[in-house]
Structure 1
Amino acid sequence: THVNRNVPLFEQALEFARKGGTIDITSSIDEPVAPAEGIARAVQAGIPLARVTLSSDGNGSQPFFDDEGNLTHIGVAGFETLLETVQVLVKDYDFSISDALRPLTSSVAGFLN
């Protein structure tokens, strides 16, 4: 999970998925690898959507930092980034709606099966 939180980890995750592993991209992490970008890059690398999941950390704790990186407070993460990621996949990366939904529906179900 959180494989999009830094570039080296994301690259390792792609290699893991190429070998048959399942990777989870976090929808609330925008940098350095935005969630829709990460999913699109995985597909471009030949990784089946069945091996890519998307999660939000919804209702989990979410830290907030100031410009210097100091923790200012802790809030509660929402779920809206899941829908936002689907919308970006369709609008900016030309995914079909069904393919854009797979990382948070059938890919997760398949992994849990």
Structure 2
Amino acid sequence: MTEDIKIECPKCGWEPDGGAYWSCTCGHVWDTFATAGRCPACNKQWKHTQCIGYKGGCNQFSLHLDWYKGLDGWLERELEAIEKTTNRQYARASATMPGSVTPYPEEAPWA
């Protein structure tokens, strides 16, 4: 991801420091944000993440995805980039087909 994504507890704003504070039911302890909530030992995907009270957090549980601030903006930019790439590829493929008509106007930004 990019630097515009910030990780913090959605309930209290506590920011994890990269430490291994989260433990899985399999017994493995790790930094849950290094793996997007997936235990690297058993591959269990955790839907919720607990804020770490003894490190200054609130001990509350929240959806893991809610910890990522700025994720919506990042996803929107990625989807726009994919759409532009797909449109360019479609336009090129259409232009090379005999008898085909490009469905995009000449002033299209990707033309």
Instruction: Name the TM-score, length of structure 2 as normaliser.
Output: 0.26
Structure (1 or 2) with the greater strand fraction: 1
Q: Which has the larger radius of gyration?
A: 2
**TM-score, normalised on structure 1?**
0.25
More helix by share: 1
